[in-house]
Amino acid sequence: MPRKAEPLTDRAIERLKPGKTAIRLAAGGVDGLTLSVQPTGNRVFYLTYRADGKVIWFRLGEWHSEAFPVEAARTRAAELRRDIAAGKDPRVDLALARKQAADELQAIKKAAARSRWEDLLDLYIEHAKANRKPRTLAWAVDLIENHLDGTFRKRHADDAGLYPPDRIQRKRRNKTPGAPAAFLAGRFVDEIEPQDVTHLHEAIKDAGGGVTADRCLALVRKAFALARVKKWCSDNPASKLGLDRSGEPRSIFLDGPQLAALGKALEEVEAEHLAPWQAIAAIKLLLSTGLRKSEVLGLTWKALDLKRGSVRIKDHKTSTTTGDLVQPLSDDALELLRAIASREGAKLSPYVLPGERDWMKPFSNLNKSWGVICDRAGLDGVHVHDLRRTYGTWAALTGVELAVASKLLNHSDVSITSKVYAQASQDSKREGTNKIAAGIGAAMRGAK
């Protein structure tokens, strides 16, 4: 039992020296309040009371002249004495408090282990790095940075694979990167609902347009599919959401008069040296081959077989499913390529269309020249990719079979080509009905 003495003060407690065994002293002021001086020098307050036929030593806390002085111990002991008198046991309350603290700690640990919105996007990028081509990965990074997560670059600042030096940089349509998805920042993946994804889709549509919104939705849908495999969530909140059809691909192509104007403009621009010869040649190759802009600009002499009249393209858009692309070249394309090959020093560069300043790199400044040419030809709102649509449309107008045109355009699905043919069919029918109506009208006017 503790030795009885005068009520302890903080100064007296500070002067106490520990012994080889614990020294217990009555602190005074409250019945049962005891100070235990440990051999280590620690001074601990206890409240002793009887329960279940035995003496209980209930720990109040370690003495500290400021944090837990003797008066604070007396106040706490007096509160517990009132509870004991009312039939309560401090041990029960302590056990409940400890359990509550343990549950809260477990909840914090569980929350820390749960994946958040940012983790979802990182998961998609890791998948894309392993399964997508560099250009596709670059597009995904742009979508995430500009529309889905403004902190993405900061998290991946040391990942040079996501930001290659030769990556095409595009203008950001949002002043604040990741702004449309700001409301999802820090959200747990398993708490994101379909209405959240719908809100995100609408916000991106308002900020960047329907096509961009659809691309982001497709990315998010795939990311959640990966998350389900990882057991991060049980459902895919983006799986049943429809795309925004207001962002359907363009259907612009050049008709006969427009092509004539373009041909004349190319001659004039080339004669007046308003655009480099690489740009003139690139436009002619786009119209005579139906290849994509990246495929034409990246064309190498090694990929060409001028004797057999074919070109092999390794890194094309659908190469992951169909392997290398071997395309026959039209007579017009072969004539143009032979003319380029005959230029002085043409074979010094590995590229058919070398850069203006560095011939060891491909020509890349086509859009600027295209603007000059369109102004001269009077073509408003026509993009470089519309030349490829022109090739596909004229394939339909000249009677090329759908399956053949699909192979020439290297579409992954013939249904993509059929959309171009449907547009051409509508124009043909319009032309036909005009001829019919004109004939009927002429007949009604008595014309022979």
- Closest C-alpha to 417, from 397, 389, 444, 437: 389
What residues contact residue 350 under an 8 Å CB cut-off, 6+ apart? 300, 301, 302, 360
pLDDT of residue 354: 92
pLDDT of residue 433: 53
Quote the tokens at residue 311: 């070109």
10-113: CATH topology is Double Stranded RNA Binding Domain (3.30.160)
Place of tokens 């560069």: 349
Per-residue confidence band for 417, with pLDDT thresholds at 50, 70 and 90:
low
Question: Would the pLDDT of 278 be above 70?
Answer: yes
Looking at per-residue pLDDT, the higher value among 438 and 258 belongs to: 258
Q: CA-CA distance, 46 to 91, in Å (whole number)?
A: 13
Q: What is the mean pLDDT of residues 294-315?
A: 86
pLDDT of residue 160: 61
Is the CB of residue 155 less than 8 Å from the CB of residue 147? no
Is the CB of residue 189 less than 8 Å from the CB of residue 227? yes
Containing 304, the helix (H) or strand (E) segment is: strand 304-305
Question: Would the pLDDT of 168 be above 70?
Answer: no
Q: What is the mean pLDDT of residues 110-117?
A: 75
Quote the tokens at residue 16: 């106490």
Q: What is the mean pLDDT of residues 78-99?
A: 90
Q: CA-CA distance, 296 to 301, in Å (whole number)?
A: 12
343 vs 329, 334, 346, CA distance in Å? 20, 15, 5
**Long-range CB contacts for residues 2-9, cutoff 8 Å, separation at least 24:** 2/26, 2/34, 2/35, 8/35, 8/70, 9/70
- For residue 316, with 0-12 CB atoms within 10 Å meaning exposed, 13-18 middle and 19 or more buried, which class applies? buried
Give the global pTM: 0.53
DSSP alpha helix (H) spans, 86-237: 90-113, 117-131, 134-143, 152-155, 194-208, 210-229
- Closest C-alpha to 215, from 167, 247, 174, 239: 247
Question: Would the pLDDT of 125 be above 70?
Answer: yes
Question: What is the CATH class of 117-247?
Answer: mainly alpha
Question: What is the CATH class of 256-384?
Answer: mainly alpha
What residues contact residue 169 under an 8 Å CB cut-off, 6+ apart? none
428 vs 264, 290, 338, 398, CA distance in Å? 26, 21, 35, 11
Tens of pLDDT along 173-217?
445 666 788 889 889 998 999 999 999 999 988 887 788 888 899
Share of the chain above pLDDT 90, in %: 31
Tens of pLDDT along 212-257?
888 899 999 999 999 998 888 888 999 888 765 554 555 677 888 8
Is the CB of residue 246 less than 8 Å from the CB of residue 358? no
Per-domain residue ranges of the chain: 10-113, 117-247, 256-384
Quote the tokens at residue 131: 């399964």
